[in-house]
A and B are shown apart, each in its own frame.
Chain A
Amino acid sequence: MLLEVRNLHVAYGDAPALWEAALDIGAGQIVSVVGPNGAGKSTLINAIAGILRPTHGEIRIDGAEIARIPGYRVCDHGIAIVPEGRRLFTHMTVLENLELGSYRGAARAVRDEGIEEVFSLFPILRERQNQISGSMSGGQQQMVAIGRALMARPRVLLMDEPSLGLSPAVVEDMFKIIRMINERGVAVLLVEQNINKALEIAHHAYVIEQGRIVTSGQPSTLLSNPRIREAYLGI
């Protein structure tokens, strides 16, 4: 397994938000985590990214334990995040955001190639490279956020609600991009409320409810589960 999460507990202060989470991502896989608002999806993804510190449990990438290392060193293990709401460095240019994505060691050494790759994936960003990122449209900001994460040369790309706040056409493009990134060999952990889309694209999926992973399996199996159909798809 490329990424293994075992018995992960996360709390905000005294308030627990995630219990006993376990999750596997194989090399080159797209894994989706679906569930309602406030179920703990972002908590899970932020804990893997090193933004939240777990109170208990293990996160291993290629066997290396990363749950206890300083947050700023998690990205050295090939983990990068496209956070919910994008969270760009909005007062900086597109190019500066991309540069900061490759702040650490190995990624910095191949920064120029990385920027070329991001520009070939999102040609509009080449034209807009000197624009202040905060002044761009939502879809373009999402491109910058994905580009910034790719600059870190991730083995696992964590994507937290990438379709949130985007128009349907742009959402369609976003999922195409996710597939393209995955075809380049990057594993993707996708957290989404857009369950149809998230299950359609995934190799494997987890359902999370009230801080616990309640079921997992092949997307087709989950889609045929009557309880899930009723709870999430309204059919």
Chain B
Amino acid sequence: MSFTLLTQSAVGGLLLGGIYGLLALGLSLSWGLLRLVNLSHFALAFLGAYLIYHLGTNYGVPAWLSALIILPAFFLVGLALHALFVHFKVSEFASMLVTFGLTILIESLIQWIWSADFLKYETSYAQESLRIGPLYVPILELLTLVAAAVLAAAAWFGLNRTTLGKALRAAAHDGPIAAAFGINAKRLSYVLAGLCAASAGVAGLFIALTSTLAPSQIESWIGVVFAVVIIGGLANPVGALAAGMLIGVSEALTMAVVNPAWAPLVAFSILIILLLWRPKWL
């Protein structure tokens, strides 16, 4: 086991953390601030990835242009979905069941349209990478991490430095008192739900560009990203990204050093250790 190989694995893991962080962001905010555990976030991301694949492969639409269409559309999907949650007064636990059902529905839809086969969105730039000394850094994965970092920073700024973000946090903390001071939590929650859904679109874009698509992939992400959300702390965007990178690196190193089959064990082992240990910074 050479040092270069280890470092290369770590870099790969760090970059993988980008996509974990992207997916975790929307889930973490929705769970922490709206008290809705939105499992369909993953299905939505994959739906976005498939749409980008479809538009690109069949009509030659560049991925960035597809994303420009999909993001506002997903924002609206987020609003519509939230309207249902609000109308039926869906509780935290019930939201998990409802969105699990929705996930199955979207997964079936994807399978019906695009089949259960593995698909890969081929682009001329897919294999581009930077070379830093002995290390290769694939450009698209690097962009994923950059996008995750930009979104996490934007979300942090929005929640901690703007009045609307503080109002959202206040409403999540004590809804009735926030309302007594004029905070219209319902309207803010719609905006947040829309933004979370749009962030699933961003994750979809990078899933399309960097991963192989199959409907069954949706579920394989749920477990790891759940662990990432909990380790990162609910409604903590920067924590979600940091946890994503931690899990990504740990998985990659496990694959390189021990055995690739052990990688799925890592996320939950770390989660359990951290939950037992409960360090102060968590």
Contacts and interface: CB of A to CB of B under 8 A. Distances in A.
Contacts of A51: 176-177, 179-180
Contacts of A80: 180-181
Contact of A49 (B178, B180, B183): B180
Contacts of A71: 176, 179-180
Contacts of B180: 49-51, 71-72, 74-75, 80-81, 83
Interface in B119-170: 163, 166-167, 169-170
A103 interface: yes
Given A51-B177, A99-B163, A92 B169 contact: yes
A87 B166 contact: no
B173 A103 contact: no
A98 B225 CA distance: 36
A152 B166 contact: no
A99 B177 CA distance: 14
B220 interface: no
Interface in A29-83: 49-51, 70-76, 80-81, 83
A49 B178 CA distance: 11
Contact of A103 (B163, B169, B174, B176): B163
B187 to A, nearest CB: 9
Interface residues of A, number: 27
A72 B181 CA distance: 7
Given A89-B169, A92-B170, A96-B166, A104 B181 contact: yes
B166 A75 contact: no
A100 B183 contact: yes
Contacts of B178: 89, 100
Residue of B169, B181, B184 ringed by the most chain A CB atoms within 10 A? B181
Contacts of A6: none
A53 to B, nearest CB: 11
Interface residues of B, number: 17
B182 A90 contact: no
B167 A103 contact: yes
A9 interface: no
A91 interface: yes
A155 interface: no
A139 interface: no
Contacts of B176: 51, 71
A148 interface: yes
Given A100-B167, A103-B167, A91 B173 contact: yes
Contacts of B179: 50-51, 71-72
A80 B181 CA distance: 7
Nearest to A101: B181
A75 B170 contact: no
A72 B183 contact: yes
Nearest to A149: B181
A75 B181 contact: yes
Contact of A152 (B173, B174, B181): B181
A57 to B, nearest CB: 19
B269 to A, nearest CB: 30
Given A75-B180, A75-B182, A103-B183, A90 B173 contact: yes
Nearest to A75: B182
Given A89-B169, A92-B166, A92-B169, A100 B181 contact: yes
Closest 8 CB pairs of A and B: A104-B182, A72-B179, A75-B182, A71-B179, A51-B176, A72-B184, A89-B170, A103-B182
7 contacts: A51-B177, A70-B184, A74-B180, A90-B173, A92-B170, A100-B167, A104-B181
Given A50-B180, A75-B180, A103-B183, 9 more contacts: A51-B179, A71-B180, A73-B182, A76-B182, A81-B177, A89-B174, A99-B166, A103-B167, A104-B181
Interface of B: 163, 166-167, 169-170, 173-174, 176-185
Interface of A: 49-51, 70-76, 80-81, 83, 87, 89-92, 96, 99-101, 103-104, 108, 148, 152
